[in-house]
Amino acid sequence: MYRRLARFAAVAALLCSTSAWAAIPVYGYKVVRSYPHDTSAYTEGLFYKDGYLYESTGQNGQSFLRKVELQSGKVVQRQQLPAQYFGEGIVDWKNRLVQLTWQSHVGFVYDLASFKPLRDFNYPGEGWALTRDDKRLYMSDGTSVLRILDPETLATIGKIEVTADGAPVNNLNELEWVNGEIYANVWLTQRIARIDPATGRVTGWIDLSGLLNAGEAHRLPDPVNDVLNGIAYDARHHRLFVTGKCWPKVFAITLVPEPAP
């Protein structure tokens, strides 16, 4: 079964209610370049480091931790999860890599260079995504609350309640730290929320409608579930990458302010 179908009605209700999004600036995008992406990769976690994309994929029995050449899309290193685990978000911390699973309440810590498993850890609730700044990790669990984790112990040490014009923003998914903000895919939408981590307020929306053209979208294995999900940032070269579950491409984009109505 594909993930989270029981929540589709709730997300549809969110999409129909635009009042919480109305007063917040919206950004469009310009595609700078595209790169190949494995269409069997059900992308759940993504980050960029030293010329490579690190990716965590989902689905029981098909969940991998992967190191991928950006230019070619070639997988140069991978570690498969045991079949009972549904892989989710990943983040690097020092010489380690941390990975969540969806509903198993367990995460894994690996050696970043070799992908050798080092230990596991537990957490309540679901695991969706991870990102970090220089001091903390941030975790999404499908709600409107981001957890703040101690990067050494992986214990929860705080939380961020994410709101847009005072209303909670649920279904926060893949995360990325970008220039002092947290970018978050909103599951089953074409939008990324730009979140102020100090207040939890959404300061802008990135509308990525049409990023995957109609022909490419039609060829996805499951257009309902193979949605936009995956954000990575190359801070050194100021490149923002986005992709989706089983998408054929990773896109490098720049943001474009949309004109006021």
Per-residue pLDDT of 35-66, as tens digits, reads 999 999 999 999 999 999 999 999 898 899 99
Does residue 16 lie within any of the structural domains? no
Q: What is the pLDDT of residue 77?
A: 95
Q: What is the pLDDT of residue 141?
A: 96
Residue 13's contacts (CB-CB under 8 Å, 6 or more residues apart) are: none
On the CB side of 135, CA atoms within 13 Å amount to 5
Q: What is the pLDDT of residue 51?
A: 93
Structural domain of 223: 23-257
Does residue 198 lie within any of the structural domains? yes
Per-residue pLDDT of 94-111, as tens digits, reads 999 999 999 999 999 999
Average pLDDT, the chain: 90
Does residue 9 lie within any of the structural domains? no
For position 249, which CATH number holds?
A: 2.120.10.30
pTM of the model: 0.89
d(CA 3, CA 31): 29
Residue 253 has pLDDT above 80, yes or no: yes
Does residue 7 lie within any of the structural domains? no
179 torsion bin: left (phi>0), alpha (psi -120 to 50), beta (else): left
- Structural domain count of the chain: 1
Q: State which H helix or E strand residue 218 sits in.
A: helix 214-218
Rg (CA), the chain: 17
Q: What is the pLDDT of residue 114?
A: 96
Q: State which H helix or E strand residue 13 sits in.
A: helix 8-16
d(CA 215, CA 225): 17
Does residue 2 lie within any of the structural domains? no
Q: What is the pLDDT of residue 213?
A: 78
Q: What is the pLDDT of residue 2?
A: 46
Does residue 11 lie within any of the structural domains? no
